[in-house]
Amino acid sequence: MIQFEKLGIFLAKPVAFLLVLIYLVQSILLIYLVTEKFQLEEQISYQHKQITELEEKLQIYNAIKDFQIGFNETEIGTLANVIYEESDRYHYDPMFVLAIILTESSFKKGQKSYVGARGLMQVVPFVGKDLAKRSGVEWNGSETLYDVEKNIKLGSLHLFEQILEFGDIKKALVAYNMGETRVRGMLRRNTELPDKYLNKVLENFKMLKENYSV
């Protein structure tokens, strides 16, 4: 009887070891599967984000291509990228930025207004120079504003600062067009702000959203 008990104990040790080994293998396998699942989900999420980004850039590209005057294919591609990036930076709808450009310069290359505002977003040189200092954009005189990348970066920042300054997108748009000082003066005098420019931007935005939904 004692011999059988000893034999049982002798047999139990390998069985217990085997059970522990199976448990460890199962645990490792489970960890591996969970890790693989997590990594796969991350890859799928990343791919989905990339696809969404490409779709948005394509829609921006198509809108620019339909309205631009004087830009080649490479420049249109550059424009689409920088408008997407700056919109993402300041949480703008890209079509909103396109609407401002369409209103300001009709998407015409090398545009200059009678007051000296330059480029697609019609930035005045002294404003552009000040913005460039604070944003790290290299400034090489007023001709800098004809560089589409720099113009979009400076114009987007200028609008963002107006939004922060007035706390109201409509007032910010009017200030972007007329100048901050004039708008502040009108507000102090309780003078009604003009809405022609604002309405034009909103009309263009609506049109772009309907035809190039992002």
Looking at the annotation, which residues are catalytic? 104
Closest among 93, 120, 100 to 213, alpha carbons compared: 93
CB-count exposure of residue 81 (10 Å: 0-12, 13-18, 19+): middle
Q: In the 8-state DSSP scheme, what is residue 5?
A: H
Q: How far is CA 69 from the centre of its chain?
A: 24
CA distance 101 to 152: 9
CA count, 13 A, side-chain hemisphere, 73? 0
Closest among 110, 101, 93 to 66, alpha carbons compared: 101
Alpha-carbon dihedral 64, 68, 72, 75, rounded to 10 degrees: -50
